Copies of this chain bind each other. A is one copy, B any other.
Amino acid sequence: MTIQTTAKPKTKRGLERRAKILAAAEQVIGEKGFVAASIADITRAADTASGTFYIYFSGKDEVFRELVQDMGHATRSQAAERVAGATNRLEAERAGLAAYLTVVRDRPMQYRIVEEARFVDPEAYREYYTEFGKAYSEQLRQAAEKGEISAGDAEVRAWALMGLAKTLGERFVLWEDNVDIDRVVEEAHSFICNGLAP
Residues of chain A at the chain B interface (Cβ within 8 Å): 33, 35, 89-90, 93, 115-116, 118-119, 126, 129, 133, 140, 147-150, 152-153, 156-157, 159-168, 170-172, 175, 184, 187-188, 190-198
Selected from B119, B133, B150, B194, the residue in CB contact (under 8 A) with A171 is: B133
With both beta carbons as reference points, the residue of chain B lying nearest to A196 in the complex is identified as B149
A197 contact set on B, CB distance < 8 A: 90, 149-150, 193-194
A184 contact set on B, CB distance < 8 A: 156
Contact B172 A156 (CB under 8 A): yes
Selected from B89, B152, B166, B187, the residue in CB contact (under 8 A) with A191 is: B152
Q: In the complex, what distance in Å separates the CA atom of A105 from the CA atom of B92?
A: 33
A163 contact set on B, CB distance < 8 A: 163-168, 170
> What's the minimum C-beta distance from A148 to chain B, rounded to whole angstroms?
7
A89 contact set on B, CB distance < 8 A: 196
Interface centre among A116, A166, A191 (most CB of B within 10 A): A191
Contact A196 B157 (CB under 8 A): yes
With both beta carbons as reference points, the residue of chain B lying nearest to A161 in the complex is identified as B164
Q: In the complex, what distance in Å separates the CA atom of A175 from the CA atom of B130?
A: 11
Contact A159 B167 (CB under 8 A): yes
Interface centre among A147, A196, A198 (most CB of B within 10 A): A196
Q: In the complex, what distance in Å separates the CA atom of A165 from the CA atom of B152?
A: 17
A35 contact set on B, CB distance < 8 A: 35
Selected from B133, B156, B191, the residue in CB contact (under 8 A) with A195 is: B191
Q: In the complex, what distance in Å separates the CA atom of A192 from the CA atom of B192?
A: 8
> What's the minimum C-beta distance from A137 to chain B, rounded to whole angstroms?
11
A194 contact set on B, CB distance < 8 A: 150, 194-195, 197
- Pull 9 A–B residue pairs with CB atoms less than 8 Å apart, ordered by A: A115-B118, A133-B171, A150-B195, A156-B187, A156-B191, A157-B191, A159-B168, A192-B196, A194-B194
